[in-house]
Every structure is written in C-alpha cells, then in structure tokens.
C-alpha cells in the first residue's frame, strides 16, 4: 500500500499530521478528548500498511493493560492477525519480554519468577527477622516503598546514595540483602523488570544494538506520566534512529507523588533536537463552555508547553451550559445540594451511570456517601472502597463494637492484635478452642486462660494490657462524649501511632479518614449504639447500591481517562483544593492540572461547589473559595446565588480581584465568615440536620436547640449543626 492509498478515515488535519510524521522524534500534545488512542492506532497501522516497518519492528508502550488491550483490538480490526506480532504492552510487560530473552546476563535463569506485593513484603519480613530488625519501629511496607522508589529512579543498591532523597543506612542495607535474596530465589519484582533491562543494555551493548535495530519505530502513550527509569529505558532504545513518537499532555500530569516526572515531557525538545511538536486541540468530548473554562484555568500555569482546547469540526455550535459555580453554607449542605441536583438530572433523563462526583481527598466522601444513602441514590466508589468499608474504619468500628459488646468475637479477633501485641495465631487458636469448649465469648475465654496461667510470654502480657485498657475505657465511657472516647481509644491502643508510622502512600489518607470518623460523632451520635445501628444499615444498603445504574464517586486522581455527561466537583476551597500540603511543597501547578482534569471529564455539565464552613476532622473550618474558581473566565461561568441555611446570600462580584472579590463583596459576608456561630433559632422554625433529617424547633438558646424530628425523636443539638429547611 502506498501512502496515498492509506485510509485516514475521519482524522482531522492535526491528527493526520501526527499519523504521517513518522521520521525522527515527534511529540504529540494530546489534550483531553482529542482522540489520542485513535491517533496512536492509526499511526501504527500507517507504518505497517505503507511498508515502513514490519509489525515486530514496532514497539508501542502503554501505561495500563486496559489501554494496550484496546489498542490491540483496534489494530486487529485494521491490519488483521499481523498485529499480534507488534511489541505492544505496558513498560513492565515489554521489560519482562526483553529479560526473558537474556536472563542469564543479569544473574537469573530461564523461568525466573515474579513476586507480587504480598510476596515482596513476606520476603522482606524474613530478611528483617534474620537481621533482628524490629518490625514495629521499621514497618516493612515503608521500607519496600523506599526500595521501589529507588528502583523507579534507576538506582541499584550500590547507587542508592545518588537518589534526590537519599536512602538511610538501614534502607540501603536492606535493599542489598533483598536483591541478594531475590537472586538466590531466581526471582524478580516488578521494579526489577526495567532496572535489569538497564543493566542488560549498559553491560551488553551488543544486545542493546540488536533491539535498537529491531525497533525501527517507538510509540509511547501517556508520556507525561513516565518516571526516571522509564525515561532512561526509552532514551537508550531510541538513540540512533530517534524514530520515537511520544503522546501525552503536560496539563494532565498529576502523579508526581508516585514518581512521575512532568519534566520528561517539558524537555522533550531539548532531549531530541529538531523534534516535531504537534498539538491536538480539537476536542470531541466536551461543550465549548467547558473547554474554554478549562483552558482559561490551566493557562495560569507557567510550566507548560501550551495548547488551547476547542470544539472539534462540526461541534462548534455545541456551546452547551456554562460551568455552574455555587456556594453553600456547610459541607453537609453541599452534599444535600448535590443529591438534589442529581435528582433533577434524573428527572431530565440523565442516567446515574452518566454522573460522577469527583473529590480532591477521600475524607470528603463520607458526607457525600451519607447524603446519597439518605436520598436513596445508588452509587459506587471507583478506585477504592466505600468509606465504612475501608480497613481503618472497620478497625475503629471493631474497637467500638467490642467496647459496647465484649461478646463480639469477630470484633475481638479483628483488633486484639492490631496494633501488634504479641497475640499470634497459636494464642488465638487456643482462645478460640477454649471459647468453643465452654460456650463463652473469646473475650471471656482469653481472661480465663490468663487466670489459669495457660497463656504465657508476649501473648499473656499483650492481653493483660489490652484488658486493662478496656476496663479503663468502660469506666470513662459513661462520662465521655463518643467522639472524645473514640479518639482516646485509638490513641491509647496505639492504633493511631501504628498508622502514623506506616509511611506508605495510603497512610496519610487512612489517618484523614479516621479523623473524619471521629469528627462525624460530634453532633450526630449521642451514643456508640446509635453509630453502630447506622453503620449496620449503611452496610446493608451497600449490597444493593452497586447493582445496576449508579453514580460514580471517586477522587480526581482516579478519574483521569474517564468521561461522564455530568460532573460534580465539591470542596473547591483554599487548603482543600488546592490542597494545603501540596501548596506548602510548591505543587500548586499540579493541583491546577488536577482541577483541569476534573473539568474536562465532563461532556455536558459541570457543577463546582464551595462551602462557607466545613467540619474537617472534628473542627469547623472557614476557608476562602478556591483560587481556581476565580481563574475560570467569567464568561464561561454561571454563579448560582444559593441562599445558605443561615440566611446569607452569596453574591458574585468581580472575577478579577481574587477570591475575596466575589465572596466578601458585601459586609454581611465578611461578618458571616468571621463568626461561625449561628444565632438561636426561633421556636417553631423548621430545620434540617444532615443525619436526622427534617424537624421543628421546640426550644432553643445560643448553645443548644431542642428539635422534634419527623420520625418522632427528640434531640438536643447545637445550632451550628442545623440549617433552616
């Protein structure tokens, strides 16, 4: 087939250019919804069908197996079974394939194994035990994460000191011992697959030369997400012919926390002189207002190559609705307003599966999930578990269950050795058998075994301390509020300290979720029993909630690559989004890229909300609206003047004077945020509570309000937690 005979289908001019520019280095800046996969597939088909290379001479690297499978399926339809000989897959898959051809060159033999995450941790624990290293003071998962980060930087144990974040002596020593043990086992972990490839290429130039000659054309997807070792690996393979085409979007680089280097794409033209830079700016997903709003926002980033999304040919008239920005009184009010808008969307024919709620941090999900359950809206958490299903929340709930009901064997087994108290499997089996033989609870059985001196050593000591803690908690429980009691239990038990010392990527989120759970008690539950009753109902509803049509709830990071008709973006407040930690670390631009990703997930409508006050980890917090709101061009925004529960209207002043220009426009707004305490409610006022629903005030002062709710219950609740219905 000649180049003129190739069927370009419906490719627009910029896409066609990206397909035809095959020789030399090419960087394709592919904005959200611009047909990136279509271009990659067409480019591979063009190279093969015009005779520029045979399929096995093409290397195409993706970040996910899903993306590779999708591309493979499309290529099968275009060029047939020949596509099977393409080198198409993830970095790890391609690296493994290269290593399988020369394992002996890196100290491995044919058929070497690949350890998964659990096997890696088990192996490291064995090594640490042999070295008499305390696992509590040095969590194995933390050590493993540091080792993997060193591998992502292309650093062997001997070169660990070259890391931008130098590894400590212990990590360096364990890294060496860990690699030695892997070699002895004839095994590798996922981090080794590219690390060994670099070793292979560096020490055996003839092998590198052979692969360079084989791969006449190299294609890389999601180049903005590459880390150091992926970058080095690609550079080594591409040097010579330089026929490398990298497709990515610097405006969607949001994974620096897991090693991604946005600098890889920003310096592409420096790494490959005379590179062609092609911008895909025609968007096939979103309306004009959404695209212009997102483009205006991301333009505030300085470190970017620059592009402006616009509607694709034929979609110019699809202006759509403006981005809706609204202010609400509180986080609970925000969740309720989102549910009400979802119900309106449903009435207008939008399916739940076409709706997504995207949050900056997982702790925001709790209030949203509670509201969705109260409104009977089916939902599913994508990329993670529901709030009450998370390990740390189940653990905390188990502490509560055992305090309320010591005969709860499942709760006892879950937390008796969490954190570690020396109560191993053998001791637990003894306790379980004692309980079975005597038809008593495991809690009672353990106490009897201690009295009978049937348990010894660390198990005995650990259980005695555990029971002493329980006795003290039961004494305090009657005179302590549930939120304070839970906080004390998690601290006294060492559970919070265990989570603090994990130092895993998930650790910070786990601590935030626990703090959110503690905060949930204040004003919502008078007793632990009320909480347990609520959770049982939640978990019962969960089984049905994920079946059929449902709203997708996820973090902004998990949403990348997805699209929905309608997107809700709650919590756009300073220190929440942009995140305070990110700002302190100088990563505000990545936060803005995250906002850009959130907006561009939407096809038809975007709803952004911010709250005047928000209860975060048991503390009421007043934040300014996010700076990102002010950076969206005014002509693409509709500001909804919602009336807050406290009777304050949100005006929308100018967009050019910073966050305060529209939020503090009038004196009453400033006074509202300067004083979070609401005045006493009038008797007879109809009010709303995020947990108990609607009711009527029967007595009130500045501190407490007595409310008769629709279900007949009477509650004394602080005015701060009530809103005018």
Among residues 201, 237, 193, 180, the alpha carbon closest in space to that of 105 is found at 201
Q: How confident is the model at residue 614 (pLDDT cuts 50, 70, 90)?
A: confident
Which one from 36, 460, 592, 678 is the annotated catalytic residue? Answer: 36
> pLDDT tens digit string along 541-594?
444 444 468 999 999 998 998 999 999 999 999 999 999 989 988 899 999 999
Q: Which carries the bigger pLDDT value, residue 643 or residue 698?
A: 698
Helix residue ranges, H only, 204-253: 205-214, 228-238
Which pLDDT does position 678 carry in this prediction? 52
> pLDDT tens digit string along 377-401?
999 888 766 788 888 999 999 999 8
Contacts of 468 (CB under 8 A, 6+ apart): none
- Give me the mean pLDDT over the 452-469 stretch: 90
CB 544 within 8 A of CB 388: no
Evaluate the CA torsion angle 226, 230, 231, 235 in order and state its sign.
negative
Which pLDDT does position 522 carry in this prediction? 75
Which pLDDT does position 641 carry in this prediction? 53
Among residues 27, 14, 79, the alpha carbon closest in space to that of 53 is found at 79
- Give me the mean pLDDT over the 109-118 stretch: 83
Distance separating alpha carbons of residues 172 and 150, to the nearest angstrom: 10
36 is catalytic: yes
Q: Is the predicted pLDDT of residue 652 greater than 50, yes or no?
A: no
Which pLDDT does position 656 carry in this prediction? 35
Among residues 712, 701, 708, 713, the alpha carbon closest in space to that of 725 is found at 708
Distance separating alpha carbons of residues 251 and 595, to the nearest angstrom: 10
Q: Crossing angle for the helix pair 228-238 and 205-214, nearest 10 degrees? A: 80
Q: How confident is the model at residue 503 (pLDDT cuts 50, 70, 90)?
A: low
pLDDT above 70 coverage of the chain, percent: 90
87-90/58-62 β-pairing: parallel
Which one from 179, 252, 364, 705 is the annotated catalytic residue? Answer: 252
* DSSP 8-state secondary structure symbol assigned to residue 715: E
Neighbour count for residue 331 (Cβ, 10 Å): 27
Mean pLDDT score of the chain: 86
252 is catalytic: yes
Which pLDDT does position 706 carry in this prediction? 77
> pLDDT tens digit string along 8-36?
888 999 999 999 999 999 999 999 999 99
Contacts of 145 (CB under 8 A, 6+ apart): 503, 504, 505
Distance separating alpha carbons of residues 613 and 632, to the nearest angstrom: 22
Cis geometry, peptide bond prior to residue 333 (ω within 30 degrees of 0): no
Which pLDDT does position 705 carry in this prediction? 80
Which pLDDT does position 517 carry in this prediction? 87
> pLDDT tens digit string along 58-74?
999 998 888 888 888 98
Neighbour count for residue 586 (Cβ, 10 Å): 8
Which pLDDT does position 712 carry in this prediction? 65
Which pLDDT does position 664 carry in this prediction? 32
Neighbour count for residue 251 (Cβ, 10 Å): 28
User: What 3-state class would DSSP assign to 627?
Assistant: helix
Distance separating alpha carbons of residues 624 and 639, to the nearest angstrom: 16
Which pLDDT does position 25 carry in this prediction? 96
Distance separating alpha carbons of residues 285 and 565, to the nearest angstrom: 9
Which one from 172, 601, 605, 627 is the annotated catalytic residue? Answer: 601
> pLDDT tens digit string along 265-320?
999 999 998 999 999 999 999 999 999 999 999 999 999 999 999 999 888 788 89
Q: How confident is the model at residue 672 (pLDDT cuts 50, 70, 90)?
A: very low
> pLDDT tens digit string along 470-483?
999 998 988 888 88
Considering just the CA atoms, what is the radius of gyration of the chain in Å? 29
302 is catalytic: no
Which one from 152, 221, 590, 631 is the annotated catalytic residue? Answer: 221
Among residues 423, 422, 424, 402, the alpha carbon closest in space to that of 411 is found at 402
Which pLDDT does position 539 carry in this prediction? 60
- Give me the mean pLDDT over the 632-645 stretch: 75
CB 231 within 8 A of CB 261: yes
Among residues 327, 333, 341, 321, the alpha carbon closest in space to that of 653 is found at 327
Which one from 17, 21, 37, 461 is the annotated catalytic residue? Answer: 37
> pLDDT tens digit string along 401-450?
899 888 888 889 899 999 989 888 889 889 989 988 888 989 999 999 99
- Give me the mean pLDDT over the 490-500 stretch: 91
> pLDDT tens digit string along 117-169?
778 888 999 999 999 998 878 888 889 989 999 999 999 999 988 888 777 89
CA–centroid distance for 513 within its chain: 13
Contacts of 326 (CB under 8 A, 6+ apart): 337, 607, 608, 609, 610, 639, 640, 642, 650
Neighbour count for residue 154 (Cβ, 10 Å): 20
601 is catalytic: yes
222 is catalytic: yes
Among residues 250, 255, 324, 265, the alpha carbon closest in space to that of 289 is found at 324
426 is catalytic: no
Among residues 61, 62, 87, 91, the alpha carbon closest in space to that of 192 is found at 91
Among residues 55, 64, 58, 57, the alpha carbon closest in space to that of 93 is found at 64
Which pLDDT does position 182 carry in this prediction? 92
686-689/637-640 β-pairing: unpaired
Which one from 14, 152, 189, 222 is the annotated catalytic residue? Answer: 222
- Give me the mean pLDDT over the 213-222 stretch: 95
Distance separating alpha carbons of residues 115 and 117, to the nearest angstrom: 7
User: What 3-state class would DSSP assign to 391?
Assistant: helix
Q: How confident is the model at residue 519 (pLDDT cuts 50, 70, 90)?
A: confident
- Give me the mean pLDDT over the 616-622 stretch: 74
Distance separating alpha carbons of residues 558 and 548, to the nearest angstrom: 21
Q: How confident is the model at residue 691 (pLDDT cuts 50, 70, 90)?
A: low
* DSSP 8-state secondary structure symbol assigned to residue 575: B
Dihedral, 201, 206, 207, 211 alpha carbons, nearest 10: 100
CA–centroid distance for 535 within its chain: 24
Q: How far is CA 537 from CA 388, 541, 543, in A?
A: 11, 6, 11
């Amino acid at each position: 087939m000649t180049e003129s005979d190739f069927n370009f289908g419906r490719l627009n001019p910029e896409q066609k250019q990206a397909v035809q520019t095959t020789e030399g280095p090419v960087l394709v800046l592919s904005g959200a919804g611009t047909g990136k996969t279509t271009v990659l597939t067409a480019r591979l088909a063009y190279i093969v069908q015009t005779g520029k290379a045979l399929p096995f001479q093409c290397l195409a690297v993706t970040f996910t197996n899903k993306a590779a499978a999708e591309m493979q399926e499309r290529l099968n339809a275009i060029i047939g079974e020949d596509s099977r000989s393409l080198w198409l897959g993830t970095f790890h898959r391609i690296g493994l394939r290269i290593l399988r051809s020369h394992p002996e060159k890196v100290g491995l033999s044919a058929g070497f194994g690949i350890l998964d995450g659990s096997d890696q941790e088990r192996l490291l624990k064995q090594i640490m035990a042999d070295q008499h290293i305390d696992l509590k003071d040095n969590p194995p998962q933390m050590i493993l994460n540091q080792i993997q980060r060193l591998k992502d930087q292309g650093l062997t144990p001997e070169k660990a000191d070259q890391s931008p974040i130098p590894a400590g002596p212990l990590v360096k020593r364990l890294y060496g011992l860990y690699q030695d043990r892997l070699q002895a086992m004839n095994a590798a972990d996922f981090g080794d697959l590219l690390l060994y490839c670099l070793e292979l290429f560096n020490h055996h130039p003839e092998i590198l030369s052979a692969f360079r000659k084989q791969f006449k054309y190299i294609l890389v997807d999601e180049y903005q997400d590459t880390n150091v070792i992926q970058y080095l690996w690609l550079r080594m393979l591409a040097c010579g012919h330089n026929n490398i085409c990298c497709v990515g979007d610097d405006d969607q680089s949001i994974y620096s926390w897991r090693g991604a280097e946005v600098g890889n794409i920003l310096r592409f033209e420096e790494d490959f002189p005379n590179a062609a830079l092609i911008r895909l700016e025609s968007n096939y997903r979103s309306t004009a207002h959404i695209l212009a709003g997102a483009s205006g926002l991301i333009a505030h980033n300085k470190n970017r190559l620059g592009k402006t999304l616009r509607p694709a040919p034929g979609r110019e008239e699809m202006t759509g609705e403006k981005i809706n920005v609204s202010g609400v009184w509180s986080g609970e009010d925000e969740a309720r307003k989102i549910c009400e808008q979802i119900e309106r969307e449903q009435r207008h024919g939008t399916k739940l599966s076409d709706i997504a709620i995207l949050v900056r941090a997982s702790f925001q999900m709790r209030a949203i999930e509670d509201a969705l359950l109260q409104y009977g809206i089916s939902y599913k958490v994508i990329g993670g578990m529901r709030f009450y299903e998370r390990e740390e929340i189940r653990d905390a709930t188990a502490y509560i269950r055992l305090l309320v009901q010591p005969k709860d064997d499942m709760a006892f087994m879950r937390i008796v050795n969490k954190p570690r108290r020396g109560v191993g499997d053998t001791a637990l089996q003894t306790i379980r058998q004692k309980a079975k033989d005597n038809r008593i609870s495991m809690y009672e059985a353990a106490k009897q075994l201690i009295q009978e001196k049937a348990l010894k050593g660390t198990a005995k000591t650990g259980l005695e301390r555990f029971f002493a803690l329980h006795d003290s908690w039961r004494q305090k429980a009657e005179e302590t509020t549930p939120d304070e009691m839970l906080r004390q239990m998690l601290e006294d038990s060492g559970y919070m300290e265990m989570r603090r010392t994990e130092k895993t990527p998930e650790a910070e989120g786990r601590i935030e979720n626990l703090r959110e759970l503690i905060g949930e008690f204040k004003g919502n539950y008078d007793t632990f029993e009320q909480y347990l009753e609520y959770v049982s109902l939640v978990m019962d509803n969960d089984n049905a909630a994920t079946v059929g049509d449902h709203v997708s709830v996820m973090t902004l990071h998990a949403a990348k690559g997805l699209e929905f008709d309608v997107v809700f973006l709650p919590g756009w407040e300073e220190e929440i989004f942009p995140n305070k930690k990110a700002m302190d670390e100088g990563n505000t631009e990545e936060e803005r890229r995250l906002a850009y990703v959130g907006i561009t997930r939407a096809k038809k409508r975007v709803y952004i909300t911010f709250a005047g006050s928000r209860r975060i980890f048991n503390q009421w917090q007043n934040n300014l609206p996010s700076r990102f709101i002010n950076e969206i061009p005014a002509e693409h925004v509709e500001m909804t003047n919602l009336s807050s529960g406290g009777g304050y209207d949100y005006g929308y002043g100018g967009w050019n004077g910073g966050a305060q220009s529209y939020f503090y426009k009038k004196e009453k707004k400033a006074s509202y945020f300067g004083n979070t305490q609401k005045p006493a409610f009038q008797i007879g006022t109809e009010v709303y509570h995020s947990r108990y629903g609607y009711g009527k005030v029967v007595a009130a002062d500045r501190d407490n309000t007595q409310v008769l709710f629709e279900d007949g219950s009477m509650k004394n609740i602080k005015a701060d937690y009530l809103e005018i219905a």
